[in-house]
Amino acid sequence: MINLIIAIVIGVLILIMAIIAVHHKNIVVGIIAAGVVSLFASILYLLLAAPDVAMTEAAIGSGLSTIIFFYVLNKIKRQNG
């Protein structure tokens, strides 16, 4: 039952974060929000008895992916400035 509640809370958080990721004017916030979505997703995976997936999602989805986003964004900003 506790799992259920956590799942619901995280699910709602994921959706909120997703909306922020899509709609926030600041791209940096968007990228972070997307990373957070991944992070929360990996918690969901843990709940769903998928530790392998959770690890991967944490490392790749919220980690590397976000880093790549920032690298690109950073480059774009530098070119602008």
CB of 81 to another protein, least distance (A): 9
Restricted to residues 29-48, the positions that interact with another protein (CB under 8 A) are 30-31, 34, 37-38, 41, 44-45, 47-48
CA distances from 77 to 2, 72, 73, 74 (A): 44, 9, 6, 5
Q: Are 66 and 37 in contact (CB under 8 A)?
A: no
How many CB atoms within 10 Å of residue 19?
A: 12
> What residues line the site for another protein (CB under 8 A)?
3-4, 7-8, 10-11, 14-15, 18-19, 21-22, 27, 30-31, 34, 37-38, 41, 44-45, 47-57, 59-61, 63-65, 67-69, 71-76, 78-80
